[in-house]
Amino acid sequence: MKLETKRLILRTPKMSDWKDILEGIGDIDVSRNLSNVPHPYKKKDAIWWLNKQKKDWSKRNPTSREFVIVLKSENKVIGASGFCRIDKFTGTATSGSWIAKKYWRKGYITEAKLALNDFAFNKLNLQRLESEAFLENAASNGMSKFFGYKFEGTKRRAHRSKATKKWHDNNIYGLLKEEWKIHRKKLINKLKEY
C-alpha cells in the first residue's frame, strides 16, 4: 500500500527501514511524547515494531494501519503515521504520528495527515477519527485543532511514557467524516497561502 503527496511517500513499512526508524524515534525529544516507545530505543525495538506491522498489514480485517513517511528528496524514512484501534463496525479509529526532530516544523506531518485522513474516510470508510495528545505536548494538540478535530475532554493520568516513565494527562479530540469534508476545503485553501 502506498500513498503519495508532493514531497512524501506513505507506504507499508519494510524491514530495511529499521535504521531510519531507530535514528528518528530514538531521540528522547520524539519518544517522550509517545506512550509505547522506550528510551533508549534499540535495534530490537525497531525490528519488533516492523514485525508487528508486517503481521498487521497481512490481516484481512486489521485493527492497525501504520505507514512510514518517506521524504522523496532523501529517499529516507523520517517518521510514521497511521491508525490504531480500527473498528470497522463502529467506523472508528485513533490516529497518531511521529516525525524525526530534524524534520520538525517543515509541514511534513500536515502533508502526511491530509493524505491519511482522506484514506481513513474514503478508503477505510471510517465515520470518526480520534486523536490523543499529552496535555503538555503543544505541537500535537495544535495539530489536532489545525486539522479540525474537536476537543472532547482530558483523561487524567491516562498514559505513562515508556521513555520518561512519567504519567501524563491525555487530551482527546474527535473528527467526524462530514466535518472533515468541510474542514478539508478550508485547510487546502489555508495551505495555498504558505
Cα maximum dimension of the chain: 43
Q: What share of the chain is helix, strand, coil (3-state, %, to 5)?
A: 40, 30, 30
- Residue-level pLDDT at 111: 93
Over its C-alpha atoms, the chain yields an Rg (Å, rounded) of: 16
Give the DSSP letter string of 43-63.
HHHHHHHHHHHHHHHH-SS-S
Would you kindly state where each structural domain of the chain is located, as residue ranges?
Answer: 2-192
- In the block, residue with C-alpha cell 535495534: 43
For the stretch 37-58, pLDDT in tens is: 999 999 999 999 999 999 999 9
Our CA angle for 97, 101, 104, nearest 5°, is: 70
3-state secondary structure of 71: strand
Q: Which stretch of DSSP H or E encloses residue 102?
A: none
Contact 21, 68 (CB under 8 A): yes
Fold category of 2-192 in CATH: Aminopeptidase (3.40.630)
- In the block, residue with C-alpha cell 530534524: 102
For the stretch 126-184, pLDDT in tens is: 999 999 999 999 999 999 999 999 999 999 999 999 999 999 999 999 999 999 999 99
**What are the phi and psi torsion angles at 163 (to 5°)?**
-70, -40
